[in-house]
Structure formats: structure tokens, C-alpha cells
A and B are shown apart, each in its own frame.
Chain A
Amino acid sequence: MTANELLALLGRAWPRLLLYPGGLFAFGVVAVLVWAQQRRSAEPWWPPRWWTLHSWRDLSALVVPWLGLALLPLPRAANLSRQFDLVMLLALLEWPLLLAVASELRGSPDERAQRLRRFAAALNSYPLLIVAALLMVAAYGSLEGGVLLRTPDADTPFQTAALFWLGALGWLLVLPAALGLGAFAAGAPANPWLRLGLRLRMVGLVALAALPWIPLVADPITGHQAEAELPWLALPLPPLVIAGLLWVWHRATLGRSPRGWAWAMLVLTLGLVGALLWAATTALQARLT
């Protein structure tokens, strides 16, 4: 392994950083989100205010989730010589949330109670997010992002398929809390760079949650081999359906107390931990026999 590979990797990464999934694509989706949120407000959504970058914190709030989004293993993205794992991708996407929580805890007292909701939503979502990821890991024995695209087919053993779909479902169900929607809504942070970072994070998490469903819609028979054959029109369908469901959930539960949902998520997490233990036990038995 030489320096050439590093240079080749950096050279091959530019379409990902500037065009798709990061760059133009990501900021286009964010622009649509902003338009959807602000179309009823008096403030024009376009052109956006030209913000001034005040600090290294502002810079990192934009750059870190941008990089996370650019490295996602989305179909049709430029191929890199190395894969990236879920732990790192999630860490990159979570950075603006941590900055927002840290900043809001020291914010003005009037808005504090509402802003603490973001912190509570994050703490409620992490156990389920991790267990859902581990279920998909247990299915294929790898944490690499590409695993999310290995949708089971007819030949996949029942246990692998069950673990994978339980994980994918868990990841879908954790999205409202992880993204702070509906009952978990906490309002946008005051800092525009943090707002932008959080929207990039939202796009990234929805894209990750949509990955297991993409091969299903596009080509349910060939499974993980289908990535190269996906028709362009079917690609955006799963993320759009997920975004639509999230929007419905957001409108239906906005303003309600999140406590009931938090308890439901805890029960679901415990159930999924049970499934994980079952998988570990059967794997151990298989190893011993």
C-alpha cells in the first residue's frame, strides 16, 4: 500500500464531494427542504441569506456532515477503492447535532426547555439506532456501509433475512426521534450553519435508512447484485416514500408529548436486543456443533 493509492482515492473522490451524493445533489435536496419549510412564511426562501462564517465551529458544522453524506454507499455514486463503515459515517453525520446540543444548553433561558428536547430525542434514539445497525451487522457479519444494500433474496437463509429486515425496520422507526420530527421536534437552531449541518444530517440519515429498500424496489430478484442494474427512475422512490411517511408522522404528532413514543422505542429496543441475543446464541451453537 503506497501513497499512490491515497492520491488515487482523493482524485476519485471529487465527484462524490462536489456532485453526488455530496455537493450539488445534497445542497439541492436541502434547498427543496428549506423551500418546503419556508414557503408559507413571509421570508423568501430564495435567494438564501449570505451567511458569514464566524468560527471553526461553523466551518465544521458544514464540512463534517457534508463529508459524511459524500461517503455514503449510494447507488450510482463514484467508486472509491475503500469502503467506509457505519460507525464512521454516523459519527460524521452526528457532529452538527452534538454542536447544536452543546450550543443550545448555553442558550437563552426562554428557549431552553424547548431546545433541550433535541438532546432528549438524541438520547432516546441512540440505543435503537445502534441495535438496528447491529442487527444488520449480525446478518452479514460486517459493519461496512455496502452491507445495507445487500437486501436478502429468495436464497438467503431465514435467519439472515429476518435479522436484516428487523434491522432495516428498526432504522426506519428510529428516524422520527433521530431527526427530531413530530413529537420530538425541537425547532431549528439559531445559527444558520448549524441549521444547514442538521439538514445535511437529515438527508444522510434518510438516505442510509432507504438503502436496504432500494434493491427491493428496483430489482427484487437479483438482490445485492442489482446495484449496477438499477433503473434511474426507481432509485429515488424509497427515500421519497420514507420522506413522505416522515412528513405525515411529523404533521400528525407535532405538539404532542414524546414520552409515550420514547417508551415505545425502549420496548422495541429491548425486543430487538432479544433478537440479537437469539442470533448470537444460534451462531454460538453452530460454532460448537
Chain B
Amino acid sequence: MRRFARIGPYWPALLAGFAALLALLLLWMVRATPIQPLPLLRIDALSAFYAALLLVGGALLAFLQPTHWAFGWRDLAVLACLLLAWFTTPIPLLLLCYAVVALLSADRALGDEAARRWGVRLVWAARRELLSVGALLVGYGALALRGSFLYDARTAGAGLDSFNFWFVLLAAAIPAIDFWSRTSTSPLTNVARIAWLYPLARLYTLGPWNSGWSFATVLLGGALALWAAVAALARPTERAYLSQTSMLALALAGFGLSSSAGVAAGCYALLTFVILVLAQPDEDAEKDPQKGLLGWLLTGAVPFTAPFVAAWMLIGAAVAGGVALLGGVVWLALLLNCCAAALADLSGREPSLRIAAVASLVAGIFAPLVVRWGIQPVLEQLQGGLTPFGDINIWPWVGMAAISAGHTQITTLPTIAVAALMLVLSALVYVVTRLRDTWRDTDDSPDGPTAADVLTWLRAEVPWLRLVLPTEKQERPVDGE
């Protein structure tokens, strides 16, 4: 009884952790074949993977304040609606759930006070989500009207054509175009942004895509990722949010490649997005270089962290699929995100930054295991809709590689081996030159240049940046000044 009293206050974290464990168990159960306990209920690897991402993300958020219930009724409603949409087969039910999620997200963004005034303000606050739901309604609605009422029906793919596809693609892309951070959204709502890519990925269950659809998705995803990375360079204060958006766009591009390697890259990018959201960047946080060092683990600059592995997987998938230019765009976006991180302050809220950094390191080093147990079942169950132009080869104890249709090795990333070698070298250097102090940064000066100064200077020195970034508007002198 006394023991129960001791762990009693931690019930929110325990409950969230239990839900996350259940989701992981579900992912394990459906790894071979989907389960269908009731006629309209169907859980396959894709829906279980999405549920696991959402619930594990939610659990980690709950662990940040283990004795305090951090989620409001809106968060729980969003969670319930998304799980219902992912675990059931009727397309109208999916549309209804997504519409509710869009309204609830906007309601949350408005804040408690403004949320009382339902009407124009709500519609304006929810414009992106409502547009997205509208596009989804047209795309999936037309599919349902053509007889594909249940997405797992044998003839469901017969109704899929370019008209449906463009609207579903639009629905997936609109939330990724959201380039302005809304700090009022709750972290869980932010994690739930992954949901908008689900309807697009679900189309692989209906059948293979034609090459025009793939090309359009890849083009849109690559362009959005690069745009967000350049914007992160230009707006260092919003860097964290923009790098999250860039990761979401990379996931979109990965799903567009229509190959096992591409979808694997897309799923891993979603996982990375959840980790980036966990960090909860805070501009008001006290600056601490030690935290900045942790922040580097969330930028993609270190080879065995989650953002780097996500970009690496997509580069390999792009080259395997014959779209080397997309590989270049992703590579450039990765490097620009790192450069933006060098410009920005990388500190964040504790302990969320620490948890996100550790999660990034674990997911990066053990990426082969994550892909094998979490993502491989998704690829196997979507195989009917995928092309053979690119696959992932996993060596559980060493790393993984992207291979082409001709089984040529495109990229090789022995993450575990590299991490082990790094550890050996670090230990060697540590023994030779003892680490004297935890941190003493002699270079830092409090009066660093403003981001605008740096950017103006860079625009003059880097021609392609001048072409990409618009010139800042000159402030007009006010009369009398």
C-alpha cells in the first residue's frame, strides 16, 4: 500500500507509458499480417506505426512532467479521433475524424479565451487545417463515391485516379507549408502534424502510383524541404520550427519515391520529426553553451543522430530511384539546416532538450533496429503498391545500406560501427589529454551580432543566397525624424 502511495502521484506518466507500450506491442503483433478483430476494424503495420509514433511521443511528453497531467481534453480528443481514423476502414469515418482534428487544432491554437468565440476567428485560425480537410474531402470523397467505401475492399483501387490523388497530395502538403511557428499549439498537437501524411501513404494500400504522381510528390517535398531550410537560415529565431517543417517535407518526398527505400526514409523522417518536436525550443530559455552542445544532436550535423540518418536514407533512396537531383536537394537542405543551427541559439527547455537529444542519438545509432522492427513491416505490407527501384539492406549489428534495383549498393551507413569507433577514439584522446573542465568557452562574447546583420552580410557575399532570399525592405523614415 505504501509502495502504491509512493508511485501514485506519477499516474499520468505511468498511464501514458502504458499506452505507448500497448502501441509498441500492437506494432509487434501486426508485423506479419494485419489484424481485423471486427468487420470495420483493421490494424496493419502502417496504422500501428503511426499510432506508436503518436503514443510514444505523447508518453515522452508526459514524462517531462510525471506528476502533472499535461494534456487537455482537446489533446485527448485529437488522440482518440486519430486512432479511430487509423484503425478503421470506412473512408467517410476517416474524413469525419480528420475534420474534427482540424477544428480542435485550431481551437487549441486560438487559446482558451478566444476559443469561446466560435465563428469567423475559428475559421481563420484553422484555415490551413480546413483547407487540408477540404482537399482530403474532395480526394477521398470522390474515391468513396466511386465505390471504394472501405479502403481495404478488393476493388478499392479501381476508383483511384489523378483527380483523387492531386487532392490527397494537396491535403498532405498544406500543413507542411505552414512556415510560421504557432507557439500556442500544444506539443501533442504539434506531434499530430504527422497525421496529415497518413492519407497519402494509405494510397499505397489501394495500388501502385503512376510515375507522374511520384514525380509531383517528390518535387513538392524536395522544394518544401529546401525552402524551409533556407528560411531557417534567414530566420534563426524560428529555426527549430522550420527544421521540423523541413523534416516533414522530407517525409513527403520519401513517400513520393514509391520504393521501399523511399517509404522507409519517409517513415524514419516522421520519427525524427516527433523527436524534434519533443525538444520544445524556447527562445526565452537561459542561454547555456552546454545545452547548445545537446542541441547539435538535433541538427543533423552529427552522422549517427536521427536527423542525419533521415536525410541519409532519403539521399540513398533518391539515387536508387534515379532522382539524383532530389538527393542533392536533400543533402543541401541538411547542410543548410546545420548552418542555420550554427547561426541560432540551440538552447532549449530542460529536460525536454535532454530527452530529445538522447532520443535522437539512440534512434540514430540503432537506426538499423528501428527500421527492422518498426518500419520493415510497413514496407512488407505496402509492397503491392511499391516499385522495386530502391530497397534497404539491414545489418542489425553494424548498420544499413540503400541498394538499387540491380542490387548495387548506393549508400552505406554503419551507424553502430561508426559510433563504436568514435567511442574508441574519444576514449583514446581523453586518456592522452585529460578532460580538465566540463565547459569553458573562451570565445563567447555576450554582444554577438544580430541575425539580421549576419544575413545582410551573407547576402552580399553569397550570390545564390541573394537570388533565393528576398532583399529586406528598407524602413521608411517617419516624418519629423
- Are B338 and A107 closer than 8 Å at their CB atoms? no
With beta carbons under 8 angstroms apart, the residue of B339, B416, B420 that contacts A98 is B339
Chain B residues closer than 8 Å to A126, beta-carbon distance: 332, 335-336
User: CA of A118 to CA of B404 in the docked complex: distance in angstroms?
Assistant: 37
Does A226 sit at the interface, judged by CB under 8 A? no
- Are B328 and A134 closer than 8 Å at their CB atoms? yes
User: CA of A52 to CA of B441 in the docked complex: distance in angstroms?
Assistant: 13
B interface residue count range (under 10 / 10 to 19 / 20 to 34 / 35 or more): 35 or more
Chain A residues closer than 8 Å to B443, beta-carbon distance: 103-104, 106-107, 189-191
Considering only residues 1-21 of chain A, those with a C-beta below 8 Å from chain B are 1-3, 5-6, 9-10, 13, 17
A266 with B395: in contact, given A130-B332, A144-B409 (CB under 8 Å)? Answer: no
- Are B458 and A123 closer than 8 Å at their CB atoms? yes
With beta carbons under 8 angstroms apart, the residue of A1, A53, A113, A273 that contacts B436 is A53
- Are A62 and B322 closer than 8 Å at their CB atoms? no
- Are B417 and A138 closer than 8 Å at their CB atoms? no
With beta carbons under 8 angstroms apart, the residue of B422, B436, B454 that contacts A67 is B422
29 A-B pairs with CB atoms under 8 Å apart are A6-B416, A9-B398, A10-B417, A53-B429, A54-B437, A54-B439, A55-B441, A56-B293, A59-B426, A59-B429, A64-B302, A67-B425, A71-B418, A82-B395, A84-B414, A87-B311, A91-B301, A95-B302, A98-B342, A102-B292, A105-B454, A108-B445, A122-B339, A123-B462, A126-B335, A134-B325, A143-B411, A144-B412, A276-B325
> Within the complex, what minimum Cβ distance (angstroms) separates B144 from chain A?
35
The interface of chain B, by Cβ under 8 A from chain A, is 292-293, 301-303, 308, 311-312, 315-316, 319, 322-325, 327-328, 331-332, 335-336, 338-339, 341-343, 395-399, 404, 408-414, 416-418, 420-422, 424-426, 429-430, 433-445, 447-449, 454, 457-458, 460-465
- Are B422 and A64 closer than 8 Å at their CB atoms? yes
With beta carbons under 8 angstroms apart, the residue of B410, B438, B463 that contacts A141 is B410
- Are A88 and B462 closer than 8 Å at their CB atoms? no
Chain B residues closer than 8 Å to A124, beta-carbon distance: 461-464
A102 with B429: in contact, given A120-B461, A138-B324, A143-B316 (CB under 8 Å)? Answer: no
Considering only residues 88-132 of chain A, those with a C-beta below 8 Å from chain B are 88, 91-92, 94-95, 98, 101-109, 112-113, 116-117, 119-120, 122-124, 126-127, 130-131
- Are A55 and B438 closer than 8 Å at their CB atoms? yes
- Are A3 and B293 closer than 8 Å at their CB atoms? no
With beta carbons under 8 angstroms apart, the residue of A62, A83, A117 that contacts B429 is A62
The interface of chain A, by Cβ under 8 A from chain B, is 1-3, 5-6, 9-10, 13, 17, 51-57, 59-60, 62-64, 66-67, 70-71, 82-85, 87-88, 91-92, 94-95, 98, 101-109, 112-113, 116-117, 119-120, 122-124, 126-127, 130-131, 133-134, 137-138, 141-144, 189-191, 258-259, 262-263, 266, 269, 273, 276-277, 280, 283-284, 287
> Within the complex, what minimum Cβ distance (angstroms) separates A140 from chain B?
8
> Within the complex, what minimum Cβ distance (angstroms) separates B145 from chain A?
34
- Are B409 and A142 closer than 8 Å at their CB atoms? yes
- Are B395 and A53 closer than 8 Å at their CB atoms? no
- Are B440 and A85 closer than 8 Å at their CB atoms? no
Chain A residues closer than 8 Å to B293, beta-carbon distance: 55-57
- Are A59 and B417 closer than 8 Å at their CB atoms? no
User: CA of A66 to CA of B342 in the docked complex: distance in angstroms?
Assistant: 21
